Amino acid sequence: MPGGGFLCCRRFSRTKGTRVSKGTTAVTLIPGDGIGPEVAESARRIVDATGVKIDWEVHEAGAEVFKKGLATGVPQDTIASIERTRCALKGPLETPVGFGEKSANVTLRKLFETYANVRPVRETPGVPTPYSGRGLDLVVVRENVEDLYAGIEHMQTPDVAQTLKLISRKGCEKVIRLAFALAEAEGRTNVACATKANIMKMTEGTMKRTFEEIAPEHPDIDAWHVIVDNCAHQLVKKPEQFEMIVTTNMNGDILSDLTSALVGGLGFAPSANLGTDVAIFEAVHGSAPKYAGKDVINPTAMILSAVLMLRHIGELEAASSVENAVMATLASGVRTRDVIGDDGSVGTTAYTEAVIGNLGKSVPEWTAREVKRLAMPVPREETAFVIPESVELVGVDVFFQTEEPPATVGEAAQRIAEGTALELKMVECRGTQVWPKTSARLDPTDVMRARFITRGSVITSEDILELLGRFGGRFNWVHVEKLRMFDGEPSFSRAQGEI
């Protein structure tokens, strides 16, 4: 497989619910939307041709489910099947853009806590790219359930939208430990952690700090941190310097698409969504509805995702056979239109049949990476990983709707706080202090934030409620955040211009 293969040593790999009969493995198959049924059928045909006995439980998710009025896009019978098989091969699902329902893909990842998205890429024979001959072979390990993909959004006003970016120590630790375990299983020598911790010092900073705490446990691996925008730059400039990149959810989504382009595009990009109890394998590309039913799409990404699945269930010989057959097919010049255009290309069906015909063959220019068994790290059971010795409530941020000028707002907020345990420290708009006035030019929206801090002693929630009662009589507040000190350190950031 691109980037080397891996086998998850699951605690349930041979338990009741995975095997349906001797020598047969139950796998949930979700064909998906658009081109999904075509690439899913290609992968299924090839897996079946190896002789591996799979009991395919076919279930739906995605667009057709949304049309039936189910907001999650994932029916209960599909969920029940995955709970039973604990292993799924999934075609691409259509995601509504900018309206309504949540992504069915994200729903599946979160329902089954598949906390790591593993996306390997490797230079492939017969697929020319500007990077051919440079030996690209790397894996992006993306945190898969937190960050902006938690999907917690609000319209503070009709003009101002808010997304909450949630990063937990637990989530970072799980995906980072998996990345190091995978690197060791695949014989990789370096792991880079890509974050935007220079700007988001608390959220992205949590990933960086966790990585730096865990890295010394793996002294044989060169562990290093890189700012994510520089990581993107370096991936285009000198991608061969990377062997594995572990990163947060949004960063990983972007970087892994970039790395796919380096080796030929999303048509060659498999992935595994790994959790402690469930694994979901899928092609990285989308549903491409304009190509649906035309028998022209490249099924390689889905086939290689099935290779990952075969390794996961312990079918190592079959996995290698399929992988080698794909490489032999591509090296022989049998390629789809996304690689060479219309002239001389073959369709999905013909490509699938060529791969089946090449089972048992290999090519000298492809040397599979030697892979050891991957034991999924066992997550810690506790909810909170960091327990401070002291917690002090010292203030509150109040977000509110207003179209009044900052000077008027500041004076009014000062009067509101008179006689309470809190005093107004500053007012900001879009992260920049606007009261007391700074030299910053302001192009305001209709949401501002007033920061109130204690007048000297630790305050209580009741003090905040008293302030909010007064504040609500003058302004329409829409969001509140407590300001606390953990072991004497502030748990909040400053606005631009705030002293």
User: What residues are annotated to the active site?
Assistant: 149, 196, 229, 253
- What is the CA 350 to chain-centroid distance, rounded? 33
| Class of residue 67 by CB neighbours under 10 A (exposed 0-12, middle 13-18, buried 19+) | exposed
CA distance linking residue 453 with residue 490, whole number of Å: 12
408 Cβ contact list (under 8 Å, min separation 6): none
CA dist 236 → 131, 193, 213, 242, 259 (Å): 9, 17, 29, 11, 9
End-to-end CA distance of the chain: 53
Task: Check the CA dihedral 176-178-184-186 and report its sign.
Answer: negative
Q: How many helices (H) and strands (E) does the chain have?
A: 14, 21
Take residue 88 and report the two structure tokens written for it: 């799924």
Residue 156: φ, ψ to 5°: -65, -40
> What's the token pair of residue 101?
């329902």
Q: How far apart are CA 424 and CA 444, in angstroms?
A: 20
Bridge partners of 138, per DSSP, are: 121
Q: Where are the alpha helices (DSSP H) in 242-336?
A: 249-262, 300-312, 316-331
CB 245 within 8 A of CB 175: no
| Alpha carbon distances (Å) from 131 to 101, 254, 256, 259, 264 | 39, 19, 16, 11, 9
Cα distances from 169 to residues 165, 177, 183, 383, in angstroms, run: 13, 12, 21, 10
Burial class (CB in 10 A: 0-12, 13-18, 19+), 222: middle
- CA trace torsion 208, 213, 216, 221 (10° rounding): -30
Q: For 242, which DSSP code?
A: -
Alpha helices, H only, 370-437: 406-417
Whether omega for the bond prior to residue 239 falls within 30 degrees of 0, making it cis, is no
Strand pairing report for 24-30 and 53-58? parallel
The residue written with tokens 């004076």 in the block is 411
Give the 3-state secondary structure of residue 433.
strand
Secondary element (H or E) of residue 461: helix 461-472
